[in-house]
Amino acid sequence: MLRIDVAAMDFRIIIYDLVDSTLDVARKLKNVEEFTIILAKRQSKGRGRFNREWASPLGGLWFTTILYPQRPAYTYSVLSLLTSLSVSKAIEKVTGLKPSIRWPNDVYLNNKKTAGVLIESEISGDIIEKSLVGIGVNVNFRLEALPMELRDKATTLLEEYGEPVDEHSLLTDILIFLREYYGKYKRGQHNDIIADVKKATDFIGNYALLDVKSGKIKAFIKDLDTYGNIIIESDGIVSTLTPNDVERMEVIKI
Ligand code: BTN
């Protein structure tokens, strides 16, 4: 086990060469401290939202952090957004690149997906008891390491930055931002988190194509509410959508 002690913040990191999914390894751990991290150099069965396959070759940052939020289930989207925000801020700090958060859980560079977040939670009553916060960042590999069908939609830090990125610094910064924003979340400071998310997005005030249960809709994204849901206008009707309602968002730049 590796221990990273950053400014008195103590993260316990368990590192594997190969696992099926760090989410599944984390699920089997009982009675571990918050911010215990399972990190794998490769995953053979990495997964994304809606059970999509998540390619996890060597050179990526694939890890799951165990948290015990003890917060109401309707705040779930804030947890997801603050995680994407932490990844986005860390990428910016380490590379100087300017990522953009694509609601609800993706981090994009140059309109291509660079990182994703998948949170699997145990909810009791209305309270999120335990969250497995899965984070995947395409760091030091070329696009050729990804399946053909992803190569025009995804990118890596190596492709965008032009040289290898220090994975240790990136991981450390993600964890520092995560701890800071998670602290705000626990204290109910949603407004502060959402304000920072809004500064790091490109979808508010734009049109987007949304994959929803009934199919694809074109909508104007008016805003994010305090709980991290999007407020949209489509065919003259204003409504609020949660992350569960939307499988994918494609921003239409006009
Ligand atoms: C998505 O964009 O759909 C979410 C992708 C989440 C990928 C990470 S990699 C570490 C953790 N283990 C997994 O199997 N998935 C998450």
Is residue 86 located within the same domain as residue 176? yes
Residues 72 and 179 in one domain: yes
Span 68-96, pLDDT tens digits: 999 999 999 999 999 999 999 999 999 99
Rounded to whole angstroms, the Cα distance separating 164 from 166 reads 7
- Going from the Cα of 215 to the center of ligand 1, the distance in angstroms, rounded, reads 24
Domain count within the chain:
2
Do 97 and 135 lie in one domain? The reply is yes
- What is the reported pLDDT for 100? 95
Same domain for 222 and 126:
no
- Rounded to an integer, the average pLDDT of 153-177 is 97
Q: Is the pLDDT of residue 6 over 60?
A: no
Listed in sequence order, the residues at least 6 apart from 76 whose beta carbon sits closer than 8 Å to its beta carbon are 119, 121, 128, 228, 243
pLDDT of residue 145: 97
Kindly indicate the confidence band of residue 219, based on its pLDDT and cuts at 50, 70 and 90: very high
Q: What is the CATH number of the domain that holds 38?
A: 3.30.930.10
Q: Whose CA is nearest to atom 7 of ligand 1?
A: 136
Q: Which amino acid is at 47?
A: R
C-alpha dihedral (158, 160, 165, 167), degrees to nearest 10? -80
Contact by Cβ (8 Å): 141, 164: no
Place 10 in a pLDDT band, splitting at 50, 70 and 90.
confident
Kindly state whether residues 237 and 190 are assigned to the same domain: no
The average pLDDT across 100-110 equals 94
- Separation of 56 CA from ligand 1 center, angstroms? 9
CA 134–ligand 1 middle distance (angstroms): 5
- In a shared domain, residues 21 and 78: yes
Q: Check whether residue 63 and residue 157 sit in a common domain.
A: yes
Out of 155, 175, 199, a domain closes at 199
For residue 40, give the ligand 1 atom closest to its CA: 10
- Give the residue from 174, 199, 224 where a domain finishes: 199
Average pLDDT, integer, range 110-121: 96
Co-location of 54 and 86 in the same domain: yes
Q: Are residues 132 and 16 in the same domain?
A: yes
* CA-48 nearest atom, ligand 1: 3
Chain segment 198-207, per-residue pLDDT in tens? 999 989 999 9
pLDDT at 202: 86
Q: What is the pLDDT of residues 26-43, one digit of tens each?
A: 999 999 999 999 999 999
Which pLDDT score is estimated for 8?
A: 45
- Which of the residue ranges 104-113, 152-161, 245-254 would you say has the lowest mean pLDDT? 245-254
**SS3 label, residue 32:** coil
> Counting atoms of ligand 1 from 1, which one is nearest the CA of 46?
14
Share of the chain above pLDDT 90, in %: 90
Choose among 193, 195, 166, 199: nearest CA to 180. 193
Task: Judge if 28 and 89 occupy the same domain.
Answer: yes
The chain-wide mean pLDDT, for the chain, equals: 94
Q: Which domain-ending residue is among 199, 217, 239?
A: 199
Let me know the angle formed at the C-alpha of 82 by 180 and 195, rounded to the nearest 5 degrees: 90
**Whole-prediction pTM value?**
0.94
Residues of the chain with pLDDT > 70: what percent? 96
- 1 falls in which pLDDT band (50, 70, 90)? low
Question: 130-160: buried (b, 16+ CB within 10 Å) or exposed (e) per residue?
Answer: bbbbbbbbbbbbebebbeeebeeebbbbbbb
Its domain, for residue 211, covers 207-252
Q: Is the pLDDT of residue 2 over 80?
A: no
- Mean pLDDT across 102-127: 95
Same domain, 43 and 128: yes
| Residue 212's CATH number | 2.30.30.100
Residues 229 and 180 in one domain: no
CA of 235 to the centre of ligand 1 (A): 34
Q: Ligand 1 atom 3: the closest Cα is on which residue? A: 48
Centre of ligand 1 from the C-alpha of residue 247, in Å: 15
